[in-house]
Each structure stands twice: as structure tokens, then as C-alpha cells.
């Protein structure tokens, strides 16, 4: 099952839309992407995809165990979550398996 999203984007000045990887679109036009998903309820509602991909690691801390603050593809920074290091490793391995 596909877990990565491609968006059909019509750029100003172009006559035809192009398919753009969601991650690349988030790098270049984050506010547009977040607005797009908000207009459709949420990314998860619009796509039905329940698997998340890591956009970046924002921070780290040690409570009982090492944790990373993860910024997710398709979600704004304020929706970043603290995840245990072993879970982040599992996410990364899953991303490379696709």
C-alpha cells in the first residue's frame, strides 16, 4: 500500500499541473501545504493514510530514555511530537523500505 503522497500542483505561469512529492512541496511551500490539508479536514482524513513519515528532527531530550521531537511530513511544526528513539529508528527503517 502506498504511504507517500504526490500532489497535483498548478504553478503560476504553467499551463499544466505537475505531480510533486509532498515532502518536496513541504520544503518549498510549507504554508501552502498546511493550508491545503486544513481545507480538507486533515491530511489523514483526506488520504486515509495512517502511516507517518519523518520530515525532520527538531530537538532531543533524555527523560527516562532518549526521545526526539519529530516534525512529520504534511504537518506543521506545532504538531511535532516527542517519540522514543527506538520508534524513530523504526520509522526511518520503514521509510527506506519503501
CATH of the domain at 57: 2.40.50.40
* Closest to 78 in 3D by CA, of 69, 65, 86, 90: 69
Which range of residues forms the domain containing residue 63?
A: 6-97
Question: Mean of the pLDDT values across residues 80-98?
Answer: 81
pTM for the model: 0.86
Task: Give the pLDDT confidence of 65-85 residue by residue, as tens digits.
Answer: 999 999 999 999 999 999 999
Q: What is the pLDDT of residue 62?
A: 97
- Terminus-to-terminus CA distance in the chain, angstroms? 10
* 16-70 residue pLDDT tens: 999 999 999 999 999 999 999 999 999 999 999 988 899 999 999 999 999 999 9
Total domains present in the chain: 1
Report yes or no on 16 lying in a domain: yes
> Can you tell me the distance from the alpha carbon of 33 to that of 55, in angstroms, rounded to the nearest whole number?
13
Residues 6+ apart with CB under 8 A from 72: 52, 53, 54, 55, 79, 80, 81
Amino acid at each position: 500500500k502506498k504511504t507517500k503522497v504526490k500532489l497535483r500542483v498548478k504553478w503560476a505561469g504553467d499551463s499544466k499541473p505537475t505531480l510533486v512529492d509532498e515532502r518536496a512541496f513541504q520544503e518549498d511551500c510549507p504554508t501552502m501545504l498546511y493550508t491545503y490539508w486544513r481545507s480538507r479536514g486533515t491530511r489523514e482524513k483526506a488520504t486515509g493514510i495512517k502511516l507517518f513519515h519523518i520530515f525532520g528532527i527538531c530537538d532531543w531530550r533524555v527523560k527516562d530514555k532518549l526521545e526526539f521531537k519529530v516534525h512529520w511530513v504534511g504537518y506543521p511544526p506545532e504538531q511535532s511530537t516527542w517519540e522514543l528513539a527506538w520508534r524513530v529508528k523504526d520509522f526511518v527503517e520503514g521509510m527506506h523500505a519503501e
